[in-house]
Structure formats: structure tokens, C-alpha cells
Amino acid sequence: MKLSIVIPCFNEKNTLEQCVNKVIGIQDQLLLLEIIIVDDCSSDDSLAIAKELARRFTQITVLAHDANRGKGAALQTGFQHATGQIVAVQDADLEYDPADLKRMIAPILNDDADVVFGTRFSTSGAHRVLYFWHSVGNKFLTLLSNMFSDLNLTDMECCYKVFRREIIQAINIRESRFGVEPELVAKVAQMRVRIFEMGISYSGRTYEEGKKIGFKDGLRALYCIFRYNAPKAPVPIQFLIYLFIGGISAAVNLGLFLLFQFWGIRIDLSIPFAYVLAASLNYLLCIAFLFRHKAKWNSTGELVIYTIVVCLVGLLDFGVTKFLLSMGTSAWLAKSVGCLIGLMFNFAGRRFFVFPEAPAGPWRSQFPLK
């Protein structure tokens, strides 16, 4: 069995050689290693050290970026060149113990898992005590990621991730920095493969020792959780997102209706005009934030379905508003009720008929180990 270990490296001259020696140490007669070091345009001696290591060990391949592109880009480069049946990630620092990788590949070798994530928060191994607020932020991001991906991970941000090669090479990584962690979790969840989690030891670094992740990366992680999970998030989460989108559209619908009334446009015209303009805005917001991966008209049928949904909800909005006005209800209240009912049916129509998506979450194996 060959294990490909991708090591992204940026200015790690102090730890790279020791890290690689530890990785080499896990090879045995049953496990062959392919070590791919991707130097991300280091400004220190990291690349020279990597090349010297490659001369000493035939298992090592060194790739280099001509400009600093970030951890995500380095991982993508390494994954593309991996040839082992299993692919793992190893940071070039000394925060993680490569011996844990031998345990992490076991569920894949036993054909129980397709992907195994490490966790620093559910382990009996050694764990260095560091920043409290980092751990709080990490747990918050993990909780949010779980809500959107429908997984029950305990450490979404953990570096140690092990994949069947076919799975990781099927993922197009778009994040260049540390946003790659929530992106990978989201995209693996959407593939509906078997995911395991395993406790690992952890010896974290302080900022003085070279730790690079910061507050901006945390904000980017929030964005990535939303961006990569929203199209296939569980229905309750998608509905919460749609409440924001639909709320904006409903407010525009109501505002335009009252404006048309102020201008003296009769009811039979002001209701549909306001609805059509608000529905157009709703569509643009939906494909920008919520259903973007399905927002492509590749058949006449999709356009017909969308038109039918819009027309049916428009008729419902028109009927409810006009009925309430005939009962003596004020214009703003009648239209508000119409907008609220329309919002509910709009979401159902778009989610289940216009932009149907299979949910994310673990399911079954589609990638037998070869």
C-alpha cells in the first residue's frame, strides 16, 4: 500500500528536516511512502533543504511555486501529483505527529471509511495547552460547519486529513489560504462518502514559534463555511438563509406596492408589477448566495419549471392581497401577509423544484480502494 503525504511548506527551515525524518520513520514493509513537498515560494532556505532531502530519500518529490499562493494552493499542487492509493496532509512544522497517520489510514484499509479527519479535542494522546480563545473560536467554527454540512465533527480545522486518492483528486480547491480546511470539509460532505474521525496528539506552536493563522483567517473561515455549504445545507439551514434573501425581496415587494399606490396605479397593476420586480431580485440573490451551483439553465424544462413556480406564487400573492383588501384590511398589512405567504411557497418551490439538490452528509462508498 502506498501512502502519499503532501507537505505544504512556507518558511519552515527550522522544522522541515525534522518533520520529514519523522514522516520517513513511519514507513515499513507493508507501507510505502510518497512524500510530496510543495514549497510555496519560501524566502528562507526551506526550498534548498527540501531539495537536499530529496537527494537523500528517493521517496521525496519537491515541487515549487514561483510566487507565494497560500496553503490551499500548495495542497492542490501536491494532490494533483499524488499517486498513492491514500493521500494525507502533513504540515511542515512539528505540531502533528506522523505516527498518528498510520492509525488514521486503518479505517480506509479496512474498507470502513473513505475519508478520515483528525481531531485534537477528542483524544487520549498528548496535547499541548495553548490559547483559550483559539479553542473557543475553533469550536464555534466547527459547530457552524456541522450545522451547514450535517456532519458531527469535533475539530473541523484540524490539519490531519486522510483521503482515498480518487476523492481528493476529484475536488477542485479554490481557497488559497487556511480557508481550505472548511472548504475541504464542505466538499467531502457533499460527496456523501463515509467519513471517520480519529483523535490525534497535538503540540501546537505559539506565534513566536512561527504560528501563522490569525483573526482574518477566522473571518475567512466563516465566509467559506457559508459559501461552500449553502447550496447543499440541510433544509432548515437553507430556509434560514432564504429568510434573509426572501425578507429583502418581500420588503422590496411591499415598498414598490405602496409606492405604486402612492402614484395612483390601480390595484390590478400595482400588485403584479411589484411582485415581478421583487421576484427578479429574489432570483438574483438566490443564485448568488444560496443555489449558485444549480443556477444554470441547461434545459428548457428548468426554465419552464421556474416560470410555473413564479407564476403560481404570484397568483397566490395577488389573490391573498386582493382578498384582504376587499375585507377592509389596510394596504400595507394585506400586502405584508401576501409577501409572507409568498415567501414560504417561494422557498419550497425553489428548493424542491427549481434548484433540487441532494443533501450533504455521510452516506456510502463510491470509491473502492484499488
- Domain definitions of the chain by residue range: 2-230, 235-354
| C-alpha torsion angle, residues 35, 197, 76, 205 (rounded to 10) | -70
Residue 238, Ramachandran bin (φ over 0: left; ψ between -120 and 50: alpha; else beta): alpha
Does position 80 have pLDDT exceeding 70, yes or no?
yes
Q: Is the pLDDT of residue 180 over 70?
A: yes
Predicted local confidence at residue 218, as pLDDT? 79
Q: What share of the chain is helix, strand, coil (3-state, %, to 5)?
A: 55, 10, 35
Mean pLDDT of 63-92: 95
pLDDT average, residue stretch 41-49: 95
Distance CA 144, CA 346 (A): 26
CA 318 to mean position of chain CA atoms: 39
Locate 159 and state its grid cell: 490539519
Among the listed residues 172, 135, 174, the one whose alpha carbon sits nearest the alpha carbon of residue 155: 135
Q: Model confidence over 272-306: pLDDT tens digits?
A: 899 889 988 988 888 888 886 555 555 677 778 87
Render 273-335 in DSSP notation, one character per residue. Answer: HHHHHHHHHHHHHIIIIISGGG----SHHHHHHHHHHHHHHHHHHHHHHHHHHHTT--HHHHH
Question: 151-185: string of b/e by CB count within 10 Å (b at 16+)?
Answer: bebbbbbbbbbbbbbbbbeebebebbbbbbbbbbb
* pLDDT at residue number 232: 87
CB 92 within 8 A of CB 44: no
CATH of 2-230 given 3.30.930.10, 1.10.3720.10, 3.40.220.10, 3.90.550.10: 3.90.550.10
Q: What is the mean pLDDT of residues 351-366?
A: 70
pLDDT in tens, 184-217: 999 999 998 999 999 998 876 555 555 556 678 7
- Rounded mean pLDDT of the chain? 87
pTM of the model: 0.79
